[in-house]
Structure formats: structure tokens, C-alpha cells
């Protein structure tokens, strides 16, 4: 592996050089916590509480570009630090000008700009590296030139106008505003501190690593990943794939990875975790991260073939989290899981979706499998009050088997294995079901989640009673048999049925005896079972307990 490592200062880094980044690099991601840490480190130097600040290693590749600029480098690791330091220096430069110290600003420009052989200036952080920072530097320098024109000191545009004119993203704008505000506070106490901050930044040390090739740079990049803000698994996977992809394939790889990231957004990391579970049957951990598993499993395989599969599963995952391109039943299941943070079944769902596309299972069997997961979750989590970690081993075992060795027996084994983990004590179920409540009047029992839990259980019981129709949420609602507002005790599930919306509306402000004839008009079964003369909330709750217990016993057989 060929590279050269030297101890240098930031002055060396930001002087007579221009930087770009490879196409696989992540965007600017540092947040206020990162800016605060950098500012405090520099502040310690300014206040003489420490002698210097070490910035870590920066990994570069020397580029040969014939454009009149002598030194071109591609940043492999260090983009976030270089970008942030440049914005920090812009804030200092702005305050120099705001205070009338134009000579100090002039001296700073050599650390913000580089000149070609025709004396034309360019931002050291090039358009390729960060278009917004390139624009910010240009706008700042142009604003100062306007101020100096004909030796007339025009007022400098405000920091917010500068950010707006530079067309910055909210993140870069906030970064600039943060450093400006902190420096402004320091300058009130000590007007000379701005130059001290500039000198402290430029004196910071770092290890300058210039690799001979992109392969060497990527290797060093991975070795140094433990430093500072760790890269995500997706970023490391992108780096690995581009490092090991031919020039002809790079464009397709970049487009595929960008599309996956656009599809999944903040769910990309969780997707990789679930992907390795469903594809390889391996549970990732802090030490055995999804990226490491993927590299190990796919090392000898075709990159494009792997990406095709990854893209297909990303499309499935997008349906799970957005419900787009889903049928009504999928939407019902996925929308029930999402607010309850039930993410654990996703590896199994990926496998089921794939087998459906492969025609290994038809639509009915696919929906039956989803219905099992939905009802299991209700029995296990909503009623049984069990935590998801108790079925973790079942999920990654059967997600893998369903994906790689599918047949009906594996699907049946999965159902049986999961069912046996549902608590089988009727007493525990009785307590749980008695605690399942919903009210539109009593705040303690209000909310969409409580309503959906009640609704899900009532749907299961209604199905058991023989109803074959759809439970359209726009047409079927929850009806409190005894008035909800009368007592908190009327919020228990034993006092509720599902009822068509129009019939429910007609039941308002009526006694149970008056409601019975309306209930008889329902196409659902449970409303017709209500008898005004014998209706008792406690007895009906116990009836629900026995029905659910019977269904679970049947499932466990």
C-alpha cells in the first residue's frame, strides 16, 4: 500500500491548493454539537488553556488536472472538517470587515481562495467538493470588493443576507450563523480575539496522508473510520463498492446507491440491518456491523447482481414504511405496525414479498402470512404485553429460510414456533384484556393507538363470528354500547362493538334498548348478539377473554 504521511498545519492545508471529493462521498452532515466541539477546542487555544489542537488524519489523493492551478487533491476522509473550518474562517473574515479591518480580511483570503496562472481566484473548497461553500466564499469576497470600491465604505450585507445570497442550505447557513454569533460574543469582551481565533485555527495540526491511488486511499479511509464521527454502514458500503468496481460500472453503482438512499432516507441504516438478517440469517451487532457482514458475504460475488437484489429489497422496504404501491390489506398491516414501532417483522416481510414476486406463493397465501404476523402481534404484544426481543431468534432464522429455501413447511414451522411464544395463561390474558380501553371522552384512554388496539381485537372476534367482509375504517367505526361519557368503566373493550358509521351516527344519545333495532340493521355479526335485557359489560369482557384464549390455543396446535 503506497501513501505518504506528514505532520502539517491547517495553514498548509488551506494554502495554494484546491479540493474536490469523489462522487461516493456523503454530503455535509455535521450538526451543532460538532460545531460546538470545534469552537471550544479552538477557544481553549485562544485562551491559552492548551497549546494546540490536533485535528486527526486527513486522507487525500493527488490529482493531475491541467487548469493553471498547481495543486489539486481529492478528499477521501476529512471533508466534514475541511468544510467546517472554511465556514469558521468565513465567519471570522466577515467580522473583520464588519469591524473595518479590511487588511486582516485581505490576509485571510489566501486561506479561502486559490489563484490560477492567470490570477483568477477560485475557492479552495471547489464546487465539486461543496458548491454551497464555494458560493459562500465567492459572495463574501465580492461583497468586500464592493465595499472597498472607490475607497468608499459601503455597509456590508448582513450575515443573513450573505447566507441567503449564497443560496446556502439550512445546515450551512446555521453553521455560519453559529460561528458568527459565538465569535461576536467573544469580540465584545476582547476585540482583538478574532485574529487570535484565525491564528489558532491555521496553527492546528493534522496528519496529512496522501495516497498513491484511490485503492490505497480507500483502505486508509476504512482503517481511520473509528476516528471522530463514525461513518454509517451505508457510507462504508458505498466506499467499498466503488473501490472494488470497474470504471465502466461505477456510474451504474452510484446511480443505484443514490436511488436506494433517496427511497429510504433515514431508514437506510435500519434497512441494511434487516437486509443482512433476511438474506444471510445473521443478526448484526456493534462489532459485526451490517457493512462488515455484507462485505464478507458478497466479496466473491458480482457487484451489479448484488446491487440489483439490494435495490429490489429497498423497493419492498419503501412499501413497508410508506405504504405506497401497496394493496389495501398491506396498508392496513403496515400502518398498524409503524406507530407501534414494530420493525422486527420487516426481514420476514422482505422474504415474503420476494417469494410472491418469484411466484413461489400466490397473493392469498402472501396475505395469509401477513395476517398471521398481524394477529400474532396483537396476541403477543397488545394483549400478551410481551417484548419483541423474545422472538428475535425466530425472526432472523425464518426470514433467512423463507428467502433462501422456501416451501410451505418452513412457513408453517415459523407460525408454530412464533405461536408457542404467546403466553398461555388465561389469567394473564384476562388482566390484559380488562386493561384494554378506549374512550373519546376520558383523556386517560383516548388516542388513536388505543382505538386501533381495540379495533384490531374486535375485528378478530368479528371474523371468528363469521363476518367475511372488509373492515373499511371509513365505513366501520367503534361503538360504545353503554354511553362512553357516563363512566370511565364504559371505556373497557367489553362495552364496544364495531358498527357501520351511518348506524353509529343514528345511535347517538340513545339508550341500549333504543339501539338494539339499529344494531339489527348491521351486516356485522356482533351487534346482532347484543341483548338489552341481559347486557353486562363485565360478562361480555369475560366472553372476549375466552374467545381470544380459544383462538390462541388453536394457533398453538
Nearest to 166 by CA among 182, 199, 143: 143
The pLDDT of residue 149: 67
The pLDDT of residue 216: 64
Nearest to 52 by CA among 203, 228, 208, 227: 203
The pLDDT of residue 296: 85
CA distance 501 to 96: 68
From 8-12, 141-145, 236-240, 325-329, the region with the lowest mean pLDDT? 236-240
Is the pLDDT higher at 420 or at 214? 420
Q: How many residues does the chain have?
A: 557
Q: Residue 354: how many CA atoms within 13 Å on its side-chain side?
A: 25
pLDDT in tens, 24-61: 666 788 888 889 989 988 998 898 877 777 887 888 88
Q: Residue 269: how many CA atoms within 13 Å on its side-chain side?
A: 9
CA distance 451 to 378: 13
pTM value surpassing 0.85: no
Q: Which residues pair with 4 in a beta bridge?
A: 210
pLDDT, average across residues 148-175:
73
List of residues 6+ apart from 109 with CB closer than 8 A: 93, 121, 141
pLDDT band for 414, please (50, 70, 90 cuts): very high
Is residue 214 over pLDDT 80? no
> How does DSSP classify residue 101?
-
Nearest to 148 by CA among 116, 109, 111: 109
pLDDT in tens, 241-253: 877 777 778 778 8
pLDDT in tens, 62-105: 888 888 888 999 888 888 899 999 999 999 999 998 888 888 99
Is residue 457 over pLDDT 50? yes
CA distance 436 to 433: 5
DSSP assignment of 444-463: GG-SHHHHHHHHHHHHHHHH
pLDDT, average across residues 532-546:
90
- Give the Cβ contact number of residue 15 at 10 Å: 14
CA torsion 330-335-337-343 (nearest 10°) is 80
Nearest to 203 by CA among 8, 6, 9: 9
Average pLDDT, the chain: 86
pLDDT, average across residues 9-14:
94
CA distance 60 to 75: 5
pLDDT in tens, 517-531: 999 999 999 999 999
pLDDT band for 228, please (50, 70, 90 cuts): very low
pLDDT, average across residues 4-20:
88
The pLDDT of residue 225: 56
Amino acid at each position: 500500500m503506497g501513501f505518504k504521511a506528514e505532520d502539517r498545519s491547517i495553514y498548509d492545508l488551506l494554502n495554494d491548493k484546491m479540493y474536490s471529493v469523489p462522487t461516493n462521498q456523503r454530503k455535509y452532515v455535521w450538526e451543532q454539537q460538532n460545531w460546538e466541539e470545534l469552537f471550544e477546542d479552538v477557544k481553549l487555544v485562544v485562551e491559552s488553556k492548551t497549546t494546540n489542537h490536533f485535528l486527526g488524519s486527513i486522507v487525500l489523493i493527488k490529482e493531475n488536472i491541467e487548469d493553471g492551478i498547481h495543486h489539486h487533491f481529492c478528499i477521501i476522509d476529512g471533508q466534514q472538517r475541511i468544510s467546517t473550518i472554511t465556514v469558521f474562517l468565513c465567519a471570522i473574515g466577515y467580522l473583520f470587515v464588519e469591524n473595518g479591518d479590511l487588511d486582516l480580511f485581505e490576509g485571510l483570503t489566501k486561506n479561502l481562495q486559490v489563484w490560477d496562472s492567470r490570477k483568477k481566484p477560485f475557492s479552495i473548497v471547489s464546487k465539486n467538493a461543496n458548491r454551497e461553500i464555494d458560493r459562500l466564499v465567492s459572495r463574501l469576497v465580492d461583497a468586500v470588493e464592493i465595499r472597498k470600491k472607490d475607497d468608499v465604505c459601503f455597509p456590508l450585507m448582513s450575515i443573513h443576507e450573505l447566507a441567503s445570497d449564497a443560496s446556502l442550505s439550512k445546515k450551512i447557513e446555521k453553521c455560519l450563523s453559529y460561528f458568527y454569533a459565538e465569535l461576536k460574543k467573544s469580540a465584545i469582551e476582547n476585540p482583538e480575539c478574532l485574529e487570535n481565533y484565525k491564528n489558532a485555527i491555521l496553527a492546528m495540526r493534522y496528519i496529512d496522508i496522501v495516497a498513491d491511488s484511490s485503492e490505497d486511499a480507500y483502505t486508509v479511509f476504512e482503517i481511520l473510520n473509528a476516528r471522530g464521527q463514525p461513518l454509517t454502514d451505508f457510507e462504508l458500503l458505498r466506499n467499498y463498492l466503488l473501490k472494488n468496481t470497474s470504471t465502466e460500472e461505477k456510474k451504474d453503482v452510484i446511480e443505484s446507491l443514490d436511488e436506494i438512499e433517496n427511497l429510504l432516507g433515514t431508514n437506510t441504516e435500519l434497512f441494511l440491518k434487516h437486509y443482512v438478517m433476511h438474506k444471510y440469517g445473521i443478526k448484526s451487532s456493534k462489532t459485526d456491523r451490517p457493512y462488515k457482514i455484507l462485505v464478507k458475504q458478497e466479496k466473491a460475488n458480482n457487484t451489479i447482481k448484488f446491487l440489483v437484489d439490494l435495490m429490489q429489497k429497498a423497493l419492498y422496504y419503501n412499501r413497508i414504511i410508506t405504504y405506497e404501491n401497496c394493496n389495501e390489506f398491506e396498508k392496513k398491516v403496515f400502518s398498524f405496525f409503524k406507530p407501534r414501532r414494530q420493525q422486527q417483522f420487516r426481514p420476514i416481510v422482505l422474504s415474503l414479498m420476494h417469494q410472491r414476486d418469484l411466484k413461489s406463493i400466490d397473493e392469498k397465501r402472501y396475505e395469509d402470512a401477513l395476517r398471521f404476523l398481524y394477529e400474532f402481534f396483537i396476541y403477543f404484544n397488545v394483549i400478551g404485553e410481551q417484548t419483541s426481543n423474545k422472538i428475535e431468534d425466530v425472526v432472523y432464522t425464518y426470514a433467512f429460510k423463507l428467502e433462501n429455501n422456501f416451501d410451505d413447511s418452513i412457513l408453517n414451522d415459523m407460525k408454530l414456533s412464533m405461536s408457542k411464544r404467546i403466553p398461555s395463561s388465561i389469567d394473564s390474558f384476562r388482566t390484559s384484556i380488562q386493561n384494554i380501553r378506549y374512550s373519546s371522552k376520558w383523556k386517560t384512554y383516548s388516542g388513536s393507538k388505543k382505538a386501533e388496539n381495540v379495533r384490531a381485537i374486535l375485528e378478530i372476534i368479528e371474523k371468528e363470528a363469521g363476518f367475511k367482509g372488509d373492515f373499511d375504517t371509513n365505513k366501520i367505526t367503534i361503538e360504545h354500547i353503554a354511553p362512553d361519557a357516563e363512566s370511565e368503566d364504559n371505556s373497557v373493550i367489553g362495552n364496544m362493538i364495531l358498527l357501520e358509521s351511518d348506524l353509529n351516527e343514528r345511535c347517538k344519545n340513545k339508550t341500549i334498548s333504543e339501539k338494539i333495532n339499529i344494531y339489527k340493521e348491521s351486516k356485522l355479526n356482533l351487534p346482532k348478539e347484543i341483548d338489552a335485557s341481559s347486557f353486562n359489560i363485565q360478562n361480555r369482557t369475560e366472553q372476549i377473554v375466552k374467545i381470544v384464549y380459544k383462538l390462541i390455543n388453536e394457533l398453538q396446535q
